[in-house]
Chain A
Amino acid sequence: MKFKTVSFSGWLVLILCSFVSLGWWLQITFFVSIKDNLPATTLTTTCMLVSLGIILIRKNGGVADKLSLFLSYTTIIVAIWILLEYKIQLPKIENIFTTSHDFKTELSQRPSPRTLITVIIAGLALLLTSYKKNKQYSYAHILCFIGISIPWAAIYGHLSFFSPFYTSMPSLGVGMSPITSICMIIIFIGIFNADPKIGLPGLLLGPTLGGKIMRIVLPAVLLLPLLFSWYIGYSFLHYDNVNTELRVILSLALLSLITSLLVIYTGYIITQKDEEKNQLVIALKESEERYKQVVNEISDYSIIRLDLAGKVDLWNKGATRITGYDANDILQKPFSLLYPKHYNGKPRELLKSALANGKVTDVGWRVRKDGSNYWVNTVISPLYDTEQAPIGFVEVTQDLTERKKTEEKLIASEKKFKNLLHSTPDAMVIVNQNGKITYCNHLASKMFGYTQEQFIGEPIEMLIPERYQKIHMQHLAEYLKHPKARMMDNNLTLLGITKEQKEFPVEVSLSPIYTEENEIQIAASIRDITERIKKENERQEYFKNMEISQKLGKMGYYEIDLDSENATLSDNYISLFGLNSNQSSIAGMSGHVYAEDYLAVNKKFHDSILHHQFFQADYRVNNAQSGEVQYVRNNCYFTYDKNRPLKAIGLKQDITEQKINEQRINKLNAELIKTNKELEAFSYSVSHDLRAPLRAITGFSNKLLKKQGHQLNTEGKRLLDIIVKNTVQMDRLIDDILAFSRISRENLSLSKVNLTQLFKMAYDTHKSLEPENRQIKFTLKPLPDDVVGDSVMLQQAITNLMSNAIKYSRPRQESLIEVGHTNVNNERTFYIKDNGVGFDMRHKNKLFGVFQRLHSEKDFEGTGVGLAICQLIIHKHRGEIWGESEPDKGAIFYFTIKTNLK
């Protein structure tokens, strides 16, 4: 705990008060009043002193606490109260401390008015020092001066036994006791010392010459009169005649003697100190001069001194060099002249800040005398006098314009560099020698998913899948040994890995960068080639498919640049036509065109170019390797720039096989035509040559019957009749066969066919051939009118079907024949239905066979060709025909027609 005069004085008061209390308790006069004939310190006074002592102890230099304030106010109020008791009848507070009711005793227990006034003054002074304000401290000190004079006089009185100095009522024993006086003096000294830096104590305790003198003179001036008054009071006590004036004169004479001695001593000391000071000042001036010279000679730095207002009062060569101002130009002018106009107020702020912080540094622009700017680094420090009071500033300025320019260039170039890196289409990462990332651009963080901060300082291996990290480190070390720019290598596909552990293919190019410290760093530019690889794969796939398609189609793709006449050929082209390189020319391509075809093809090619047409030609070429003749179909189109042909792009197809097939087909066709002709000739001769004998048989049978009939018996006639009948049947067969073969040879002549009419006609024709009494109910439902076919042929087919329907329903009482159309398997299907004898579905496969019959000639006449002809006709119409039946339950025939007009 630090020693403090304030609290020490408080404690001292408390100790003295406890002695007083002890004195009252044990009836020890010395403790209460020192001597019997002096007034005693009352208990009330003691209490007030104790409270003042406590306040002092609690003082800590700051604002007083609540208890201190309370004690201050209470003490003041109590003191005023008791003071008023002397004049007015009031309840007697001092009775709290005593039981005596005797007025005299009572009065002697009351603190004297001097004591009370002193206490009030002390209380007020303490209150004033309760707030940390210099002005109130001054008032407090004034109060202290006033207050301390009272106990001072009292002590003076005690010592010289001169009662008016300590009491106004000597007869009543009321007065300021010596102990109270001492306590009060201690208290006032304590209050003085509440803040030893302020006011009188500051002066007294400070290092100033005045303070020093006060420390020597004051105790003497204060204490010596006391000693003298005691001496005079004590030595002349026995002489009651010695009056007051003598005592005062004696005291004053002694005092004057001593004071003179003190003044002489003081004068001596002051002279001595002044001399010391003068010497010091001279030394200081010399040193300042030297310092000024040194400062002046410094030309690298501008060193100027400013007064407190910022006016220049010292100017060195450096300042002249840097600013262009001569000392004469600038001295006594504000240093803000050196600052650019727009720095408005900044010079003053700098000075303020220098004062507040002891030093200020600034970097910025300044203006030369000629108006040009320069870049400086300035340090401004305040200058203090010996009392630590600021008296000015020194400003040291370094011209950094050149350095600033270099720096700016550097910054600009760095900025440019960074911008460049940010604007590159690739991710950029810079790695130092230790493989740690020192820089990355936006794209890099986007590509790998790390923020830029997460990159910096991390090993580059974090961007590489774990399994490659080791080998990468080796690569890096290897690279650092022989650093050189390395471009993206298409063949070297590397893998990168993102923060999310997603791998992707990358392409990396490296280039070494040398830092200012000549340390090597590696700039890696990284490109995500996922898309490219995908596209490349797709492209390869596409080309592969193209080649496959070409192979499958026996085609070769080519592109001819019509300017340079250079041709690019697909792989399949060269393999198809026996070339040996993908590069050729028009000459190379046309060189193997078959000689006979060359002129025609060449003409057509050039005509196509000229007329902006597609070029298509079939011709022959000689295989460039084997020389074999190949048939090709060449298709191409041309691209133009306006009218200037640029390119021919086409496919050349090897159609040798087709050609051979075509030739084979042509040959077959020729053969077929020949066969057909033969067949025609055959049927011709059949119709002629086979019929003639038949007619002869019937004719001569008849002739025999007519001319020789009378010689034949019945049996002979019957046999002749059988011969004739069979001949007729034979004739019918021949007719049908001829019809069948004619139909199979004939081509369809298509037109809209009225089926309704055809059925009607067929019915009418066959009905008329039947006996008159035959009952037939013919129902013809509406039929569509948009059927297309060969009406002659369809007439034949329908006639045959109708003939069958009528023929096979002959056994019925009433034949029911119905014609209509329906939908079978989503196809429009016509039908003709009868209620005739029908057929067994087991034999349905024989229905449409030539000469195939399901009924005997005896029951139903016929050749077995009718339905075969029907089927032939319907098939020619791309339709189908089929029958459904059950024996004796009628039959139904369906057919479809699918021909249409194109």
Chain B
Amino acid sequence: MIAAMTVLAAELPGIATDVAEALDEHKSGGLPQLNQPDFAPQLFWLALTFVLLYVIMKRVALPRIGEVIEERKDRIQRDLAAAERLKGETEKALQAYEKALADARSNATSIARQTRDSLNAEVDKERKAIEDQLAKKLSDAEASITATKDKALASVKDIAGDTVVSIVSALTNLSVSKDEVNSALAASEK
């Protein structure tokens, strides 16, 4: 380390002259940038190249790039607008679909209700008819039962009268007319 530093120290004057040379090579005219005879050609070529550059940029290069960027912007704008429009259409279609669905559902409900109502009405009518029929049959049956009963009861009186006449004649030898027996029976019934 120390050895390296001594070598460095020994070289220092040499470095100093290097720097001085690096900065001072052009001793005669100082900085080359300040050498006035060089100004004219530099200004001439600067003006020439810059004006040419400006013209080429303005007329050719920049419009081309600008056009492409502009076109891309337009294209994206158009695509976005189309997407927006399609989205609107989709939403409209969806709404129409949902409305149709709702209509169909309410239609179905009303049809179901109507069917149920009409079926109920029919069933009611049928039942009523059957009930009426049954009621009629019942009353007919009741009437015929009553008639049969009456007839039977009448027959019972008749048989009773005949029986009484036979019993009386057998027991008492009295001939009793049937009318007398009947009136006596009628009296006993009271």
Decide whether A and B assemble into one complex.
Answer: no
A interface with B by C-beta (< 8 Å): none
B interface with A by C-beta (< 8 Å): none
